[in-house]
Structure formats: structure tokens, C-alpha cells
Amino acid sequence: MTGIVLAAGQGTRMKSKYPKVIHRILDVPMVNWVVSALRKAGADRIVVVTGYEASMVEDILDDDIISVRQNPQLGTGHAVMTAVDYLDDEEIVVIAGDEPLVRPSTLKELVFARGEKDLDVVFLTMKPSDPTGYGRVVKDGNRVKIVEHRDADPETRKINEVNSAIYAFRGSFLRSAISRLSNNNDQKEYYLTDTVAMAEKADTIIVEDAREVLGVNDRIQLAEINSIAQRRINEELMKNGVTLVNPTTCYIGPEVQIGIDTVIEPMVFITGRTTIGEGCLIGPMTRIENSKIEDNVEIVRSEVSSADVRSGARVGPLSRLRPGAVVMNDAHVGNFVELKKTVLGRRSKAQHLTYLGDTNVGEDVNIGAGTITCNYDGKNKHKTEISDRAFIGSNTALVAPVKIGENSVIAAGSAITEDVPPNSLAFGRARQVVKEGRFSNNNGQEEKS
């Protein structure tokens, strides 16, 4: 099956510099919701018709998606014509790029119905309370036609079954029908909808839940569809054993996976290809993107991006895991601690006010409060190596490149610029000097000596 996604329009009512279909529903551009539905419905080839700011749309498409450019945009029928090279004799599903909520199961139903009844075309329709603006569906036995709102007479406008712009075509029929389209209508456009009247056998399927085919035309609808998508995903998670304490405040992307008995506290954002294991506690007020979180992990009030958190680890409150952070099993990351390209070994702890960048921390290491790796010299990044069971005293600056050996202890307040061998104690600070009697009890004034 080939899927053709019409996405060349500007979407004037969005009042945007960007093409409509790249605006996001949750964290995924609208057109990619449609692409993903087609994929899940079994499309083995997907063609996206781009036009307005085409390269912006092409940039967000997966590599295996074909794109063709339609310039100028002369209507939905003309959009399909630009994809003519991809119209074979197989099944062809045509779908507007601005209807992100369509379900794969509905697309499958459409394709199944076409084959079963040997139809030239079958398309999804709905019966909205106000059909204004939509193409009206006029039926006469096996023949069906669609009359666009602006071309419809008052009688036709009373029809409340309308076209939702999602179609399954017999490939050979579509190819021949689009070559016969004319632009003899109010907008002087080539309407894809006119192909329906050319079919000897056409039919419609009325969608049960009209929300599924809602289109995005302005930013109010964008927000509405966003909340429908949010609810759909959250309910699916809850059905599958995830607790969402206050689902309306949680935004979880369509590609996220979460295991059973994980509890998501309020105000949590989880996006990208994040996976979260079982029995975790996430939130409140946490953002996680493109990360892998194993089982029984706790992440409280933190930011986590492209990081890896292993079973039993605890992160937060107020931690920041940046790309390449790996928190190993049962390790702890605490408040105001930032990790970047850093592995924190098993059972190791960095609990307070710390920056670890480009660092390898072994097992059972204690990183004292205020430890900073000085990994950047203004030009290059350098590595820090902290071996198993080392103890880094509070307020230590580790000037990379530098290595701290196993079991070694760094005295608090040190600036460490040279490697420390195993089993050692290293100081890197000025010796404390005490001048007794320098101040007496005369209002803090220095004694004249």
C-alpha cells in the first residue's frame, strides 16, 4: 500500500512563517503523526507532497519517506498529480497532512472495505453539527460525488455528511481519474474530490468518533487537538498499568514507552524516544527527553536529556542530566548537580552543587558538595577519571585532564591539577595561616602593632 500525504499548503490561518504541517502536536510535527498512522496501517511506501516552504517539511521527514514538490499549489487533485510516478496498481491511501489524529485501525478499515467491496474509492466522512466549509457528500446508489461548500447550492449545503479528506483508492482508477480532472470550479483548482464522481463504485465510511478526523486550520484547533492527543496517550498508558496522578498536567509524547507500576506525578513532560521501566517514580515537575530510564528509578523535579539512568538510581530534586550522562545502578544524583558526557558508577553519589563533565566516575565513589570538573580550557574539552572508592572532598576543582586513583582521598577545597595515584591523600590548597591576637575586642579594628 502506498500512502500519499498532502502537505503543500501554507495554512494561512495559522499566521505563521512555517508551513502548517510542521507545527507540533505534543512533541511531534503534525505531518509525522499522519506518516506514523500510515506506517502502522501497513503502508510500505509513503509519499509526502510538499510545496510551501518545502525544505522545512522535508527536513523533519524520516529518511525513508519520499517527498515530491508541488509548485504552484493548484489544488488537492493537482497535489496527487505531482505524485503520479508513485501511483501503481496497488492500494493507495490519500490523506491530508493536517489531520494528525486519524487512527491506524481506521485506515486499515478503509483499505479493507475498498478491497472487500471491490470499490474504486472509499473515503471517510463525518456528520458534524455544523457542516459549513466541508465538501458535502451526495449519494445516488453506487455513485457518489463531493460538492465543495463554495460550489454547493443551498439544497446541497443542507446535507450533513461531509468529506474528511481521507481516501482509499484503487491505484489504476486514481491514475486515470486524476488525468481527467478539470479546474472548472469556484476556486479554479483541481479538486481531488472530483475523482469520486468518476468512480463507478464508490462508498463512504462514517467515522464513529469525529474527533479522529479533525483538521488543524488555526492555533486554537492546534491546542484542541493537542489536548485530545494528550488524553489519548495518557489514557492508553493508564490502561496499561501506569499511574498518572494528574494526567491533564502531563505531556507524554507518542513514542514514549513506560512500564507498569511507574507513577508519574503532576507536571511532567516526557518526549522523544524515551523509555521508562517498571516501578519508577517520575516527578513532580520533571522533563525527560530521548532518555532510557530502567526499573525502580526515582527522578524528582529534574531535567533529563539524552541520558541513561540504570535500575535503582535516584535523581533529584533539581538535578540536570545532559546528553551522554549515564547514572549507573543505585547511584544518586542530588540537588544542583549537572552531569554531561559523564558516567556515574554503581552506588556512587554526587549529592550537592556539582558539575561533572566528560568524566568517568567508578563505583562507590563519593563526590563531595561543590565538586567541579574544569573540563574546558577555552578551546578543548578534557577528560576526568575518578576510580572506584575515591572520595572527593567538598569544593574541589578537578582541572582536566586528570586522574584520581582507587581509594584516594582529595582534601576539601583542593584544586587538583596533577594525577593522584591509588590509595593516596592529596591536598591542593593553601595552608591555613592563623595569626593569633590580630584582632582584639575593640569594635573589629585591627590592633596597631
If one asks whether residue 70 binds ligand UD1 (CB under 6 A), the answer comes out as: yes
Cβ neighbours for 199, distance < 8 A, ≥ 6 positions apart: 119, 120, 121, 143, 144, 173, 177
If one asks whether residue 111 binds ligand UD1 (CB under 6 A), the answer comes out as: no
The residue number with the shortest CB distance to ligand UD1 is 135
If one asks whether residue 162 binds ligand UD1 (CB under 6 A), the answer comes out as: yes
Minimum distance from residue 163 beta carbon to Ca ion (Å) = 10
If one asks whether residue 152 binds ligand UD1 (CB under 6 A), the answer comes out as: no
Please give the Cα distance from 205 to 184 (Å, whole number): 28
If one asks whether residue 146 binds ligand UD1 (CB under 6 A), the answer comes out as: yes
If one asks whether residue 96 binds ligand UD1 (CB under 6 A), the answer comes out as: yes
Burial tier of 140 (Cβ tally within 10 Å: 0-12, 13-18, 19+): exposed
* Pairing mode, strands 314-315 and 298-299: parallel
Among 27, 53, 91, 98, binds ligand UD1 (CB under 6 A): 98
Among 107, 111, 177, 192, binds ligand UD1 (CB under 6 A): 192
Minimum distance from residue 331 beta carbon to Ca ion (Å) = 51
**CA dist 360 → 265, 309, 324, 334 (Å):** 31, 15, 11, 18
DSSP 186-198: TT----TTHHHHH
Among 215, 253, 357, 393, binds ligand UD1 (CB under 6 A): 215
213 near 99, Cβ under 8 Å? yes
In the complex with ligand UD1, the residue whose CB is nearer, 14 or 96, is 96
Among 148, 294, 303, 358, binds ligand UD1 (CB under 6 A): 148
Size of the site for ligand UD1 (CB under 6 A): 28
DSSP 414-432: -EE-S-B-TT-EE--SPPP
Minimum distance from residue 78 beta carbon to ligand UD1 (Å) = 5
At which residue does the C-alpha cell 472548472 appear?
184
Nearest to 262 by CA among 301, 294, 304, 309: 294
If one asks whether residue 215 binds Ca ion (CB under 5 A), the answer comes out as: yes
The DSSP output letter for 185 is: S
Partners of 261 in the beta sheet?
Answer: none
In the complex with Ca ion, the residue whose CB is nearer, 1 or 94, is 94
Nearest to 162 by CA among 139, 178, 191, 184: 139
* Pairing mode, strands 91-96 and 162-170: antiparallel
Minimum distance from residue 230 beta carbon to ligand UD1 (Å) = 22
In the complex with ligand UD1, the residue whose CB is nearer, 148 or 289, is 148
In the complex with ligand UD1, the residue whose CB is nearer, 76 or 373, is 76
Q: Identify which range of 72-80, 256-264, 276-284, 332-340 contacts ligand UD1 by CB under 6 A.
A: 72-80
If one asks whether residue 163 binds ligand UD1 (CB under 6 A), the answer comes out as: yes
* Biggest alpha carbon–alpha carbon distance for the chain: 114
Which one of 23, 78, 149, 352 is the catalytic residue?
352
Q: Which does 393 bind (CB under 5 to 8 A by kind): ligand UD1, Ca ion, none?
A: none
Cis status of the peptide bond prior to 421, with omega within 30 of 0? no
Minimum distance from residue 159 beta carbon to ligand UD1 (Å) = 12
In the complex with Ca ion, the residue whose CB is nearer, 215 or 357, is 215
Among 4, 14, 43, 165, binds ligand UD1 (CB under 6 A): 165
Nearest to 390 by CA among 371, 411, 406: 406
Among 97, 259, 316, 370, binds ligand UD1 (CB under 6 A): 97
- Confirm whether 352 is a catalytic residue: yes
> Which cell numbers in the block locate residue 381?
574539552
Nearest to 367 by CA among 300, 324, 416: 416
- Mapped onto helix, strand or coil, the DSSP state of residue 5 is strand
* Pairing mode, strands 143-147 and 136-140: antiparallel
Cβ neighbours for 116, distance < 8 A, ≥ 6 positions apart: none
The DSSP output letter for 276 is: E
Q: Identify which range of 75-83, 242-250, 322-330, 369-377 contacts ligand UD1 by CB under 6 A.
A: 75-83
In the complex with ligand UD1, the residue whose CB is nearer, 19 or 253, is 19
Q: One-letter amino acid identity for 303? A: E
Among 49, 107, 299, 365, binds ligand UD1 (CB under 6 A): 49
In the complex with Ca ion, the residue whose CB is nearer, 50 or 375, is 50
The site for ligand UD1 (CB under 6 A) is made up of: 6-9, 49, 51, 70, 73-76, 78-79, 96-98, 134-135, 146, 148, 162-165, 191-193, 215
- The residues assigned a catalytic role are 352
The site for Ca ion (CB under 5 A) is made up of: 215
